[in-house]
Structure 1
Amino acid sequence: MLGSGNRACSPSRAPLCNTLGFLQKNNSLGEEGRLAGSLSERQKNLYSCDNSDRDARFRRTETDFSNMFARDLLPAKNGEEATMQFLLELVGILTNYVRKTFDRSTKVLDFHHPHQLLEGMEGFNLELSDQPESLEQILVDCRDTLKYGVRTGHPRFFNQLSTGLDIIGLAGEWLTSTANTNMFTYEIAPVFVLMEQLTLKKMREMIGWPSGEGDGIFSPGGAISNMYSVMIARYKYFPEVKTKGMSAAPRLVLFTSEHSHYSIKKAGAALGFGSENVVLLSTDERGRVIPADLEAKILDVKQKGYHPLFVNATAGSTVYGAFDPINEIADICEKYNMWLHVDGAWGGGLLMSRKHRHKFSGTLSFSCCNSMCAGYLFQPDKQYDVSYDTGDKAIQCGRHVDIFKFWLMWKAKGTIGFEQHIDKCLDLSQYLYDKIRNRQGYEMVFQGVPQHTNVCFWYIPPSLRGLEHNSEEYREKLHKVAPKIKAMMMESGTTMVGYQPQGQKVNFFRMVVSNPAALQSDIDFLIDEIERLGHDL
């Protein structure tokens, strides 16, 4: 999340023995010699272990978990063997799930209605009991949880803004959960705190801020980030609100696109502005804010005696994938001394693509906000530089470690890897657009090449193609098409794609390409599936 006001940013090593085993099976002795010659002494030592040297506890064996319980695992006395075998069994479940996720013959989901899952499915019971269940049942529960869930990493999952299943990210998440720490102080999370600072600095440099100046934290999501931006804007112009409340400020008004994320409205309600003081801005056919409408509504607010405080510009709206004209909006904000926030939750990633970063344009500078120190956490006499303590920047006290997963992916892929990911997804969305824009039975929701990976369209069954498109009968029937096709998709489990209405437009498909595992053949499959399921509607 990005903001400007002058504008602000509110936004163990795995065993390497298996790697050597792979090399031994796939290389000649000469190749191994060349490999060994290229390794440092430290790397040679890491690769030198073999199965005979490994602790037997780390070998998966047939174990009867039916009479074993959580109380038998660490920190229980003599619980190491049971713990290792349980975790190895669980890893087997997870790796099998990962393998099947990338198998296109596997269903995207095994759909069941809520009442079926609540009543219990083949031994899978969601009810909680007073007595502990065996580890065998716990492993069954783990398998079934994955079985009846949605495989969001599947190459044919196009439903939400999900970016697939990244193996490095998965490794980072496992390590994060194992470390089980918190982000509020350097004292409790020294490495993670430094990772976050360095990563955010790198991100600010990519935005274009000199030397990565500014500040920020990782938040639980875009909605919370947007709320932070409103809070910072309010403090920037009316700092006394922090101590005296909203009565210390005039009636403040926020402005956001009619296509923007609903979190701006929620922030207005939660922070005491009131939903009536969140003004929606008109957009053009592509879903971009019309600057003239913004200025007209600012003047209207000022004429009423209210104070225009904040404008939210969207870089990649969730439905159309639209990018608001940030430079023009920035000029208006400067003219009326308002805070400009840029919501880049969906489109901000384009900054990593040299081909597409021009869509995320705007002159971004920064501001800052002071803190409300919690003395029991942030003692000034600690033995280290307390400026590294981050908890005071967040609304909540404890904060989940979100950084390691992202940091590890960036290390593994490099900026160039993220760029390739983004470019591939946009190329696939272009492929879909080119396939359907003139295809019989399809109509685009708006004309022109999509700005992001969002491709919005109607599928028109043969039974509707002879109707007058402006008639109420046509609109009513077309409104039901996408939901019916989606329901059949979920029943069959072959693929998933989202749909929704927008303003006066009836339900349409909102296809989002964000999974780098997807191929052109998956786009072709989606088109064929829509036509197969919708042909007789």
Structure 2
Amino acid sequence: MQGWSLTPWWQASLLKQPKPVCESQNSLYTYEVAPVFTLMEEAVLRKMIEMVGWKEGGDGIFNPGGSMSNMYAVNLARYRYCRDIKMNGLFAAPRMVILTSQECHYSISKAAALLGIGTKNVYVVPSDKRGKMIPSALEDQIKRAKSEGAVPFMVNATAGTTVLGAFDPIDEIADICEKYDLWLHVDACWGGAALMSNKHKHLLNGIHRVNSMAWNPHKMMMASLQCSAFLVRDKTSLLQHCHSAQASYLFQQDKFYDVSYDTGDKSVQCSRKPDAFKFWLMWKALGTTEMEQRVDRALALARYLAQEINKREGFQLLMEPEFANVCFWYIPPSLRNLPAGPELWEKLHTVAPVVKERMMKKGSMMVGYQTHRDKPNFFRMVVISPQVSREDLDFALDEIQHLGKDL
């Protein structure tokens, strides 16, 4: 055996595996280390900006998720109001206030905590019964902040809330933000996909008026995780000025190419995965028409599910869905003669957890449940997969009924 070089079988197996292109070691910080991926990111961002309706263009960056996109928005809005804060810190700014609806994603409060604004300075704006921010209540909160000597600097609206799938009235909110000179950010991580559909893009009417937007193709568009874009209407390199550290060993200004392609200096990260490639490749493979049909089909199936719930005894919608979120109760036969009131709500609250436990132990499905405000536990189904059929949705309702009818 002398002179032989043996490789353990497990090492040989690993060596034979092709490296997925999306897991390339290329990192997006300077153009020279990832030229193709840099150009792909620019092309995808430019197309997304076009769909938002910013006719004069804009800026943007892909990052690890919607929470990060919302943090970018808070930091950029604050920098726009008080540029000295970058060098002098919080001592350079007054008490600053973010305004957002009670249905917003929790990442807004997390961003306020992380950036030193403080969660108590996130003023919550009431929403209506459908989960939409109430514009008049927004203006009341702005006036309240000013009366306290604080400085409201940003409004966060939501296009497609996490629970109900509600879309805030962007046009009306934009009017108020223009009146008070506030940065308007829209968290469209979930609902941004509606822009792909001529039939449903009206849900985001007014989106062209916002200052920034978060949009996650890894949600309804089903791009591979992670794939999240932060888009900015500003074209004056505000994103770069806010985050730039001008590291001389990477971002030399006398390179032979356009240094605006060194996108790492406008990111809070250094190394970044080429996440835009995932969306670019999917878009190329499916085409814009198929992407539009994917959105239309998902919302059509959500409507079908809602219609079936309305037809079936023992099922009740919280409300007719605006998007792909379908929220409903299953009421077992033993509870159907109880009048609406505390006794029914208390008993109904225990139904969904038991049905969920049974379906998990049986291995038939995974359907989430939750409370919302004062409502007892309900099921929340979000229909997005292009592989889901009407028969699958019928099965889900049949299975919930089968597992809960004896409760």
TM-score after normalising by structure 1: 0.67
Deviations 1:497-523 (A, max 9, x none): 111111111211111001000000001
- Structure 2 match to 1:457: 328
Given candidates 311, 314, 319, the residue that maps to 2:155 is 311
Work out the CA distance in 2 between the residues paired with 1:377 and 1:273. Answer: 31
Residue 401 of structure 1 aligns to a residue whose secondary structure is coil
Work out the CA distance in 2 between the residues paired with 1:83 and 1:309. Answer: 54
Deviations 1:299-327 (A, max 9, x none): 11111111111110000011100000000
Residue 293 of structure 1 aligns to a residue whose secondary structure is helix
Work out the CA distance in 2 between the residues paired with 1:301 and 1:464. Answer: 46
Given candidates 114, 130, 144, the residue that maps to 1:270 is 114
Deviations 1:401-439 (A, max 9, x none): 211111010001111111000000000000001111242
Residue 437 of structure 1 aligns to a residue whose secondary structure is helix
User: Considering only aligned residues, what root-mean-square deviation do their CA atoms show, in Å?
Assistant: 1.7
Q: Which amino acid aligns with 1:461?
A: P
Q: Which amino acid aligns with 2:394?
A: D
Q: Which amino acid aligns with 1:185?
A: T
Unaligned runs of 5+ in 1: 1-64, 74-81, 89-172
* 1:491-506 aligned within 5 A: 491-506=361-376
Q: Which amino acid aligns with 1:302?
A: K
Work out the CA distance in 1 between the residues paired with 2:102 and 2:316. Answer: 23
- Structure 1 match to 2:349: 479
* 1:21-420 aligned within 5 A: 68-70=9-11, 72=12, 83-84=15-16, 87=17, 174-177=20-23, 179-211=24-56, 213-362=57-206, 363-364=208-209, 366-367=233-234, 368-369=238-239, 370=241, 371-420=244-293
Given candidates 314, 337, 340, the residue that maps to 1:441 is 314
Whether contact under 8 Å (2:97, 2:153) holds in the other structure is yes
Work out the CA distance in 2 between the residues paired with 1:67 and 1:202. Answer: 48
Whether contact under 8 Å (1:186, 1:389) holds in the other structure is yes
Whether contact under 8 Å (1:207, 1:364) holds in the other structure is no
Work out the CA distance in 2 between the residues paired with 1:485 and 1:444. Answer: 17
Whether contact under 8 Å (2:41, 2:274) holds in the other structure is no
- Structure 2 match to 1:98: none
Q: Which amino acid aligns with 2:262?
A: D
1:426 aligns with 2:316: no
Q: Which amino acid aligns with 1:380?
A: Q
Which stretches of structure 1, 4 residues or more, deviate above 4 A after TM superposition?
none
Deviations 1:24-50 (A, max 9, x none): xxxxxxxxxxxxxxxxxxxxxxxxxxx
Shift of 1:67: 5.5
Deviations 1:337-395 (A, max 9, x none): 11100111000010010000001111425223313322221122333221101111111
Work out the CA distance in 2 between the residues paired with 1:295 and 1:387. Answer: 39
- Structure 2 match to 1:509: 379
Shift of 1:206: 0.6
Shift of 1:290: 0.6
Work out the CA distance in 2 between the residues paired with 1:174 and 1:69. Answer: 19
Shift of 1:174: 2.6
Q: Which amino acid aligns with 2:349?
A: H
Whether contact under 8 Å (1:312, 1:341) holds in the other structure is yes
Structure ranking higher in strand proportion: 2
Deviations 1:62-106 (A, max 9, x none): xxx995232x46xxxxxxxx833xx38xxxxxxxxxxxxxxxxxx
Work out the CA distance in 2 between the residues paired with 1:282 and 1:263. Answer: 18
Work out the CA distance in 2 between the residues paired with 1:189 and 1:67. Answer: 34
Residue 500 of structure 1 aligns to a residue whose secondary structure is strand
Whether contact under 8 Å (1:315, 1:347) holds in the other structure is yes
Identity value in percent: 53
Shift of 1:242: 0.5
TM-score after normalising by structure 2: 0.88
Work out the CA distance in 2 between the residues paired with 1:308 and 1:513. Answer: 37
- Structure 1 match to 2:228: none
Work out the CA distance in 1 between the residues paired with 2:10 and 2:383. Answer: 43
